[in-house]
Structure formats: C-alpha cells, structure tokens
Structure 1
Amino acid sequence: MAGPEPYLADPEDLAVLLKLPPDDVRLLAALRAATRRFRGQVRHPVSLVTDDTVFLDGSGRAVLRLPAAPVLKVGTVLVDDKVLAGVRVRRQAGLLLHPGGCWPEWSEITVTYDHGLAPVPGEVAEAVIDQARAIYRTDPAIQQITTGTESVSFAATAAVGITSQWAAAVEAHRLNRGDDA
C-alpha cells in the first residue's frame, strides 16, 4: 500500500510565511500536527492513497460504505476470501453496491482500492498551513508551579483554536456525517 503524503500542505509554503527554512524541525512538526488534526476531523487521509486494503463487515444491506473517498479505482472485492465481480461504485460518496442484492451479514469484506485527491485541494492546504502557523507559535511553557502552600501562575498561550476557514474546509471534506450524534 502506498500511504498518504506526510503533509496536506507544502512545507515550502509554510516556511515562507514563518521566514524559516523548509526543513526546520519545529516547522515540520507543526505541519505534521495540523495535517493529523485535519485528517482526524475529516476521518480520511484526503491525499492520494493507492492499493489501500480495508477489511469491512457485511452489513446485510445493499450498500457498503468505504472508509475513504473519493474512490478512484476499485481493484478486488472479496467476500469471505472469494472474488465478487460486478460491484458498482458511487465514487464521490465512497459507496459499494452489491451486484446480487445485499452484503451478507457476518461476512468479511476485503476491498483493495485507490482513493483520495491529488493534488490536495487549495482550501485544505491553506487551512492546514494556517493551523500549522498557529501551532508553531503556541508557547508550550509551564503554566503553573505549586510548592507546598505557594503557587505561581504564568501567562500561557491559549490553546490553538479553529478558524472559519478551517471549519469550512473540514465540513467540505468530512466523511460519514451520520455518526455525529
């Protein structure tokens, strides 16, 4: 399996904004953290992944939801280790339609497929860079020290929040919205 790119934005773009070299360790750590946060909130890698193999449970329904989209290509689909031909795909939604009716319950479904976006959409890269800038600038300093009966507090940088740009990009690329409740 060729996994997703390590970052959802180009380190060079962040380096220009922070006036740092693109291989700066803290810069790359901030970009990696922002990328992980975005992928976690949208529930899929976003960037291109080829030959990904997933193992799913049969649902007893006609439609089976893949864990990532958009689907670029479906390679093999196995039901309990037997090849299933004729599976239809809803590419943008990441759905597979069983050709004979329903995905059998208590069956293991193995799907090998390509999914994601190449290149990563600009609004995603911009939101990730904005978040990485905020993460980079967050001071991880000690906030409070207590010794015996004495306590001293220091000013602390607020936790990194989200912008409306971030929220819009997450909403546009998030999968499986039905399990928010």
Structure 2
Amino acid sequence: MALAPLATVDDLVALGLVLTEDEEPIAENYLAVASAAVREAAGTPISETSSTVSLEGEADQRLRLPGPPIQSVDAVAIDGVAATDWRLRSDRLWRFGGWTTASGPSEVTVTYTHGLPEVPADIVDLVGRLVAGALASYRADDGGASLGTQVVTSERIGDYAVTYGGDGLATDMELPAYLRERLAARFGGGAGLVRSR
C-alpha cells in the first residue's frame, strides 16, 4: 500500500504557491516524489501507518521495531506461533525470556501501527519547498534543461554571461547531506545502538 504524500495541494496553496489547473496533476506527482525523498532520508514513514514486519529475534529482552514512534502492536508471532508474553516499551518489544528459541535466533513477525498521527508543520513546509523548486524548474522555458539542478556560480552583466556549476545534487528533489542527517537523527533512521556482550 502506497502512503499518502506528506503534504497536499491545499498545503502548497496555504504556503503561497499559485497553481494553474493544468499544474495540479504535476504538483501531485512532485508531492509523491518529495515525500518519498523525505521518508527515505528519515528512515521512517513519518505519517501514521500499519505494517507487518519480520525481524530476527536474539537473546536480548528488547526488540526494536522500525519506523518509530510505535503507537500500538496488534500481533506478535515467534516462528509462526502467536506470542502474548511481551510488552511495548519505548518503541521496543520487551519479553522476559528474550526473542530466541531453543534452536537459536527466531523469526519474529509483528503487526503494528507506527508513525505520527499528524505530519509536523516543518515537514509539510519542507515537502512544499521541494515541490515549489521542482515546479519552478518545470515552469522554466528552457527545453527541460532546468529539470536538473543548476547553480549559478558566476554572472557578468557587460556582454551578459552566466556560469552554472553543480552542487552535487542531480534534481530538485534530492536533499543535501546535512538535511538527510538531521531527518535521520530526528526520526530514528540514523545509526543504531551497538551493544557489546
């Protein structure tokens, strides 16, 4: 199931973007692409959704679930057998006996609801700004050349000249490294905790 975009055409209008009727389907497409880019950087869906995942269970009592924050857990099975002796604590499942079986690591299947019930305003704004940049490129009358990211590195007025340089981004929908790191840190998609035994 595809997730709904993190922002809507109405959000774009509220941010001050003026769209023609012909541009609305293009904006819808850009909203989907920008939302996918933000979710990929965050490492989580951000908006609330239900998922079923299979994870490798280890001897540790805690089992981290992807896509925080975790709202609720509907079902847990260990190697295909329903389990009820667990608790949800701090976006992790806790089980007294750990998550292994007598034969070693197990496969833990979890059905749960996770993400935020409402997309934060700054994420709506970020997606809106990505779409606005893509629409500006779309609107440019340059035979499609502006659909790739171009940065003006120098400009001269006498005998007009302009020089474009790349900033390492291929399109308006790519997020710079600092923003990707910030999203990953905020939503838990960054490096995980490594435990030594």
- Scaled by the length of structure 2, the TM-score of the pair is 0.69
Deviations 1:49-95 (A, max 9, x none): 13x2111111222211111111111111100111111312134xx21
Number of aligned positions between the proteins: 163
Amino acid at match of 1:134: G
Structural mapping, 1:1-181, within 5 Å? 3=1, 5-15=3-13, 17-21=16-20, 24-50=24-50, 52-91=51-90, 94-100=91-97, 102-104=98-100, 105-138=104-137, 140-141=144-145, 159=169, 160=172, 162=175, 168=182, 171-178=185-192
Deviations 1:130-169 (A, max 9, x none): 12212222354288xxxxxxxxxx9688643647888655
Gaps of 5+ in 1: 144-153
**Contact between 1:77 and 1:83, CA under 8 Å: does it hold in 2?**
yes
Query: d(CA) in 2 for partners of 1:135 and 1:60?
Result: 48
Superposition CA RMSD, Å = 3.0
Give the SS at the match of 1:177. Answer: coil
Task: Give how far 1:48 is off.
Answer: 1.1
Amino acid at match of 1:60: A
CA distance 1:66–1:176, shift in 2 (3 Å): farther
Query: d(CA) in 1 for partners of 2:86 and 2:12?
Result: 42
Highest CA radius of gyration, 1 or 2?
2
Query: d(CA) in 2 for partners of 1:166 and 1:175?
Result: 10
Query: d(CA) in 2 for partners of 1:89 and 1:113?
Result: 11
Query: d(CA) in 2 for partners of 1:166 and 1:137?
Result: 23
Give the SS at the match of 2:88. Answer: strand
**Contact between 1:5 and 1:48, CA under 8 Å: does it hold in 2?**
no
Give the SS at the match of 1:67. Answer: coil
Give the SS at the match of 1:107. Answer: strand
Amino acid at match of 1:111: V
Query: d(CA) in 1 for partners of 2:9 and 2:124?
Result: 10
**Contact between 2:77 and 2:83, CA under 8 Å: does it hold in 1?**
yes
Query: d(CA) in 2 for partners of 1:61 and 1:74?
Result: 19
